[in-house]
A and B are shown apart, each in its own frame.
Chain A
Amino acid sequence: MLITRGFKGKARNRGAAQDRVPPGQYVTPDFPVLSAGPTPRTSLEEWSFGLRQGGQTIAEWRWADFENLPQTEVTVDIHCVTKWSKLDTRWRGVTFDDLLGAAGLDAPPTSFLMAHCDGGYTSNAPVADLAQGRAMIATHYEDLPIAPAHGGPARLLVPHLYFWKSAKWVRWLDFIDHDEAGFWEGLGYHIHGDPWREQRYRGDP
């Protein structure tokens, strides 16, 4: 690999935040947008979000009902597998735990789930990575409704995993019995995706 004399590249210092930045990551003030397809444009009137299992709907909410569920605000760091980390991002939405509660579930029905989104994108995760306050369905970013290009009306937010897991345009979570590869996981990315263990690619320990 040839080092290019004098090339600095865009600002990427870890600065004082060393302990907040996982291995191999750079810090960015930007919010780069990557999309697998054209931006879906689902109106709030058409939108619904559901919990499903085995082809059955456990619970489903239209927009007004969803906004009436318990709302939680979080400030979190997010980490993209392409090596960019963005610190102190603010989100508002409904936590996974509150969704289960609203659905009348004492416990998640399975140990794994797959997020399904407008446009066909999917991402998988163990339920344990969403429960106990670790994830939400987010509707607001920095006090504003999430813009369509960033995943609005709602996206999954699982900030302790690489950000490809925080599926944009999420419409339902499907409870499944076994872990299955979602969109990027099927293309060589790690099935779990923990940035602190640098689980970027399939085969990483």
Chain B
Amino acid sequence: MTPTHLPWRVATVAAAKRESVRAKAILLDVPGWPGHLAGQHLDLRLTADDGYQAQRSYSISSAPAGRPQLEITVERVDDGEVSPFLLDVLREGDPIELRGPIGGYFAWMPGDGGPLLLVGGGSGVAPLMAMVRARTRSGDKTPVRLLYSARTVDELLYRAELEELAAAGDGFELIMTLTRGAPEGWTGEQGRIDREMLAARGFPPDRRPRIFVCGPTPFVEACADALVALGHEGGRIKTERFGPTGDLK
């Protein structure tokens, strides 16, 4: 066994809830969980009966809450090796190996300051949800704008929760955009998050927002470049690239 102080633990699947047409939120009971920062991820390890193993990283979408239950959001990767298993086979009561929390660089906690600009593409919204939820839970009043891009309306994650938070009017603003067409009555944006949308809907550079960008690598690169071109400080832009398939592999 490779030496480590970050041991593999056995967690139990507490629940699995459909979150969108392609994704589920999976709740895990993790005895001995040391707590986490909003934005951190965990690694899952799956072992087939011949010993073959696969590992994947998933952002923790639940707020740090002082209780040992975590939520990860798993979106289907077509022909993927792991996501179809997690979505179609894994069930309540199953044990699963994980380690974490991992990653302190891409993290925000209430009290870290803002304003906070969160830019998420597809399942990249997962770690940003942890930040939004942490803020809500703590009563923190840092102004937040979440720019969230999904392909279609039924691929949006956490839609009801986010719209409710936006309606509460306590400094959280939600801008959703669909890149592959919108249904009748859609009042959000359409098209990719680009320089124009970031200029129009993000915080201006003179407010020096803390910025977190997460999603597939090409999405993150394009947004980060656009933010720098708009005049935001590179040092205040933190990125988490999921692989091209959307996996943090």
Residues of A within 8 A of B (CB): 1-10, 12, 26
Query: With A9-B54, A12-B52 known to touch, is A2 a contact of B47 (CB < 8 Å)?
Result: yes
Contacts of A26 in B (CB 8 A): 52
How far is it, in angstroms, between the C-alpha of A1 and the C-alpha of B51 when the chains are bound?
9
Residues B89 and A2 in contact, CB atoms below 8 Å apart: no
How would residues 68 to 94 of chain B score, 1 for a CB under 8 Å from any chain A CB and 0 otherwise?
000000000000010001000110001
Contacts of B53 in A (CB 8 A): 9
Residues B85 and A3 in contact, CB atoms below 8 Å apart: no
Query: Is B112 part of the binding interface, using a Cβ–Cβ cutoff of 8 Å?
Result: no
Query: Is B97 part of the binding interface, using a Cβ–Cβ cutoff of 8 Å?
Result: yes
CB-contact partner of B90 in A1, A6, A8, A12, under 8 A: A6
How far is it, in angstroms, between the C-alpha of A12 and the C-alpha of B90 when the chains are bound?
21
Residues of B within 8 A of A (CB): 10, 46-49, 51-54, 81, 85, 89-90, 94-97
B99 to chain A, nearest CB (A): 13
Query: With A3-B49, A4-B46 known to touch, is A9 a contact of B81 (CB < 8 Å)?
Result: yes
Contacts of B51 in A (CB 8 A): 1
B242 to chain A, nearest CB (A): 18
Contacts of B48 in A (CB 8 A): 3-4, 7-9
**Chain A residue, CB-CB nearest to B81:** A10
**Chain B residue, CB-CB nearest to A7:** B46
Contacts of B90 in A (CB 8 A): 6
Residues A6 and B47 in contact, CB atoms below 8 Å apart: no
Supply 22 A–B pairs (Cβ within 8 Å), ascending by A: A1-B47, A1-B51, A2-B10, A2-B47, A2-B95, A2-B97, A3-B47, A3-B48, A4-B46, A4-B85, A4-B94, A4-B97, A5-B89, A6-B85, A7-B46, A7-B47, A7-B85, A7-B89, A8-B85, A9-B53, A9-B54, A9-B81
**Chain A residue, CB-CB nearest to B49:** A3
B123 to chain A, nearest CB (A): 21
Contacts of A2 in B (CB 8 A): 10, 47, 95-97
B165 to chain A, nearest CB (A): 35
Seed contacts A4-B85, A8-B48; 4 additional CB < 8 Å A-B pairs: A2-B96, A6-B85, A7-B85, A9-B81
Contacts of B94 in A (CB 8 A): 4-5
**Chain A residue, CB-CB nearest to B94:** A5
A205 to chain B, nearest CB (A): 20
**Chain A residue, CB-CB nearest to B96:** A4
Q: Which one of B46, B89, B97 has the greatest number of beta carbons of chain A within 10 Å? A: B46
**Chain B residue, CB-CB nearest to A24:** B51
How far is it, in angstroms, between the C-alpha of A3 and the C-alpha of B96 when the chains are bound?
9
Q: Which one of A4, A6, A10 has the greatest number of beta carbons of chain B within 10 Å? A: A4
